[in-house]
Amino acid sequence: MAKIRIAWRSGEVIADLRHCPTVTKVLAVLPCKANANTWGDEVYFSLPVAAQLEPDAEQVVDPGSVCFWVDGSALALPFGPTPVSKGRECRLVTKCNLLGKIAGDPGKLKSVRDGDEIRVETV
């Protein structure tokens, strides 16, 4: 299982990634930097990766899931409700590929602000 570090000015999280075609593509472009976007309790940022939806893609995921938004070529990190959520669920804008899970508290992502530089690297 691969591990990545996602770091920003005021914090970082480590994520465990599973084996799937999109993870292979993401690992191939690391290390990289991007500017963060926030959408409710979700952080997302572009990566230079093109991928197709995988058979197990989901729209409603667990907090702390590491997802790849195919339509936006972006890593999506939901940790709570988004503007399209029903109740407290983590609902992504569309189905996304499931890449893994943040180890520890995904609530650390609350400190990410729009425009923060995000660094992603393998651990």
> What's the domain range around 118?
2-122
Mean pLDDT, all residues of the chain: 97
Considering its fold, how many domains does the chain have in total? 1
pLDDT in tens, 50-107: 999 999 999 999 999 999 999 999 999 999 999 999 999 999 999 999 999 999 999 9
- Answer yes or no: is pLDDT of 27 > 90: yes
Q: Which helix (H) or strand (E) holds 32?
A: strand 32-35
pTM: 0.96
75 φ, ψ to 5°?
Answer: -80, 130
Q: What is the CATH number of the domain that holds 41?
A: 2.40.100.20
Alpha carbon distance, N-terminus to C-terminus of the chain: 11
Closest listed residue to residue 52, CA positions, set 29, 77, 20, 82:
20
